[in-house]
Structure 1
Amino acid sequence: MGSAPRMTQPFWQTKTLAEMSSEEWESLCDGCGKCCLLKLEDEDTGEIAYTRLHCRLFDGETCRCADYQNRKKIVEDCVILTPQKVEEIRWMPQTCAYRLVHEGRDLPEWHHLVCGDRERIHAEGHSIRGRTISEDTVFEEDTEDWIVDWEGNEP
């Protein structure tokens, strides 16, 4: 009698963020674009509000950075994610794969590593594709007028 084939678990279920290869790390990004939204922090309460404005390097139609390799050089306050930063950053989206793995939770069924389709996140409305505008099109003093919740609804 032969034994049943051993099922191997996907890397995000067996490795910590720090143990992942650079390829595995990069593949975790689902392309939602929510981390590229401009965020405002209330100085008194520390509450974070998200806007419908995206970074000037973000392409709102493709949900990708226009210059990913040089983003930090071009946008000084761009946050380069690391395992340590994932642990510290309070504004990471609830559905962010980095956050989910860090918290020991599994990826949603629409994540491309689970379903095999990079477009499913957009088709099911879990990304910001087509729902934002560039920060360059709005005066800085008007940023508060663009506050929305994670799903792009008015607060």
Structure 2
Amino acid sequence: MFELSQRVVLLVEDNADDELMTLRAFRKSNLHNPVVVVRDGAEALDYLFLQGQHAGRDPSIWPQVVLLDLHLPRIDGLEVLRRIRTHEQTRNLPVVILTSSKEERDLVEGYQLGVNSFVHKPVDVTEFFEAVRQLGMYWLVLNELPSTAATRKSA
């Protein structure tokens, strides 16, 4: 099992302000886990499937959780989720949609596609920090996952 500080977060976020706030919220919560930031859906899939600019990355570094925005350039978040859930190597990867979308259809489709959690980004900075802190505590500290080898084949 990974040490808590080695549990990687994949943050899929195209908004620089939301990225910065999320990273600050992790630091303020004393969650010092590595956070890999990708800025669009295509790059997220490249990272997960070790292709494109991420083809040479270390395949043993695997996210503990994906924080996924919905409104992304190139490939939207729901399509990223769809592709994550259709591949054996990523099917069980925890995915949390972290979005400003208030659309009921996004919520419904996210759960139909197998999202683990759907969280609206609070507008208030203090509430946003608290939401990210709670997400981090749950997914990085409290939640237990099977070992990487048991949940996915080598990419």
Q: TM-score range by the shorter chain?
A: under 0.3
Larger helix proportion of the pair: 2
TM-score normalised by the chain length of structure 2:
0.28
TM-score normalised by the chain length of structure 1:
0.28
Q: Return the index of the structure with the highest Cα Rg.
A: 1
Higher RCO structure (Cα 8 Å, ≥6 apart): 1
